[in-house]
Amino acid sequence: MNKFFTMLIVCASLLLSGVAGFGVTTSGNSLIVDTEGGLIFTVDSSNGDITSMKFNGIEVQDSGSKKSQIGSGIGASCTWVRTGNSDNYIKITCSAGSLTQYYVARYKDPAIHMATYITAEPSVGELRFIARLSRSAVPNGYGSAAIVGGTAIEGSDVFTVGSQTRSKFYSSRQFIDDQVHGVTGSGVGVYMVIPGTGYESSSGGPFMRDIDNQGGDQQELYFCAFYLFSNSGHTQTESYRMGLHGPYALWFTTGSTPSATIDTTFWGGLSVSGFVPTTSRGRVTGKTSGIASAFASLQAIGFSNSVAQYWVRTDTAGAFTSPYMKPGTYIMTLYKVELAVASQSVTVSAGGVTTLNIASQEANPTVIWQIGDFDGTPRGFLNADEYHLLLGASPPSDSRMHIWGPVTYTVGQQAIGYFPMAAFKAIGAVTVRFGLTSTQGKCGARTLQIGTTLAFAGGRPQVVINGWTGPAPAAPSQPDSRGVTRGTWRGNVRFLIFSRTWCTSGILTTGSTVNVMTINVISGSSGDQFLSPNIVFDALRLY
Question: In which element (H, E) is residue 319 found?
Answer: strand 319-321
Segments of 356-470 assigned E as strands: 358-359, 369-371, 407-410, 422-424, 430-434, 444-456, 460-465, 468-469
Amino acid at 259: S
Domain ranges of the chain: 16-133+173-269, 278-359, 369-542
Asked if residue 475 lies in contact with residue 429, where contact means CB atoms within 8 angstroms, the answer is no
What distance lies between CA 264 and its chain's CA centroid?
A: 22
Question: Domain 369-542 is in which class?
Answer: mainly beta
Do 394 and 485 contact (CB within 8 A), yes or no?
no
**Three-class SS of 274-305:** CCCCHHHCEEEEEEEECCCHHHCCCEEEEEEC
Higher pLDDT, 509 or 95: 95
Find the helix or strand (DSSP H, E) in which 9 lies: helix 2-17
The confidence score (pLDDT) of residue 123 equals 75
DSSP tag of 420: B
pLDDT given at position 530: 85
- Options 2.120.10.60, 2.60.40.1180, 3.40.1410.10, 2.60.40.1120; which CATH number does 278-359 get? 2.60.40.1120
Whether 145 and 224 have beta carbons less than 8 Å apart is answered as no
Q: What is the pLDDT of residue 497?
A: 82
Given this model, what pLDDT does residue 82 score? 97
Cβ partners under 8 Å of residue 465, min gap 6:
448, 507, 508, 515, 516, 517
Angle at 464 between CA 458 and CA 469, to 5 degrees: 85
Average pLDDT, the chain: 89
Spatial separation of the C-alpha atoms in residues 175 and 479, rounded to whole Å? 18
Report the distance separating Cα 109 and Cα 183, nearest Å: 19
User: How far apart are the C-alpha atoms of 418 and 448, rounded to whole Å?
Assistant: 20
Predicted pLDDT of residue 392:
47
- The CA distance from 336 to 300, in Å, is 7
pLDDT at 20: 55
**In the predicted structure, residue 7 carries a pLDDT above the cut 60:** no
Is-contact 354 347, C-beta < 8 A?
Answer: yes
Please tell me the distance from the alpha carbon of residue 148 to that of residue 168, in angstroms, as a whole number: 12
In 3D, which of 111, 49, 86 has the Cα closest to residue 264?
111
Between the alpha carbon of residue 466 and those of residues 333, 410, 470, the distances in Å are 40, 15, 11
H or E segment to which residue 330 belongs? strand 328-336
Q: 191 falls in which pLDDT band (50, 70, 90)?
A: very high
**Of 474 and 106, the one with more pLDDT:** 106
Range of weakest confidence among 14-18, 197-201, 203-207 = 14-18
Could you report the per-residue pLDDT of 308-366, keeping only the tens digit for each?
A: 999 999 999 999 999 999 999 999 999 999 999 999 999 999 999 999 999 999 999 99
pLDDT of residue 522 exceeding 80, the answer is yes
Q: Which of 252, 254, 248 is nearest to 35 (CA)?
A: 252
Cα–Cα distance measured from residue 298 to residue 318, given in angstroms and rounded to the nearest whole number: 10
The set of long-range contacts for 81-85, using a CB threshold of 8 Å and a minimum separation of 24, is: 82/18, 82/23, 82/24, 83/269, 83/270, 83/271, 84/266, 84/269, 84/270, 85/266, 85/269
pLDDT at position 236 is 62
E runs forming strands in 10-149: 23-27, 30-34, 39-44, 50-55, 58-59, 69-70, 77-83, 89-96, 99-106, 111-118, 129-134
Which of 15-19, 341-345, 386-390, 411-415 comes out lowest in average pLDDT?
A: 15-19
Give the integer Cα–Cα distance in Å for 522 and 503.
27
- CA-based Rg of the chain, rounded to a whole angstrom? 27
Residue 400 pLDDT > 80:
no
Say whether pLDDT at 99 is over 90.
yes
For the segment 281-292, the average pLDDT, to the nearest whole number, is 98
pLDDT at position 229 over 60:
no
Percent of the chain with pLDDT over 90: 70
Residue 253 pairs in a beta bridge with: 189
pLDDT at 125: 64
What is the pLDDT at residue 372?
A: 97
- Dump pLDDT digits (tens) for 416-459: 999 999 999 999 999 999 999 888 876 777 899 999 999 999 99
Torsion angles phi and psi, residue 541, rounded to 5: -155, 150
pLDDT for the residue 232: 45
Residue 450 CA to residue 498 CA, distance in Å, equals: 8
In eight-state DSSP terms, residue 485 is G
Assign domain 16-133+173-269 one CATH number from 3.40.50.150, 2.70.98.10, 3.40.190.10, 2.40.50.100: 2.70.98.10
Neighbours of 439 (CB within 10 A): 9
Instruction: Give mean pLDDT, residues 47-58.
Output: 98
- DSSP strand pairing (209-210 vs 173-174): antiparallel
CB under 8 Å to 386, separation ≥6 — which residues?
A: 394, 398, 400, 401, 402
Share of residues in the chain with pLDDT > 70 (%): 89
pTM of the model: 0.91
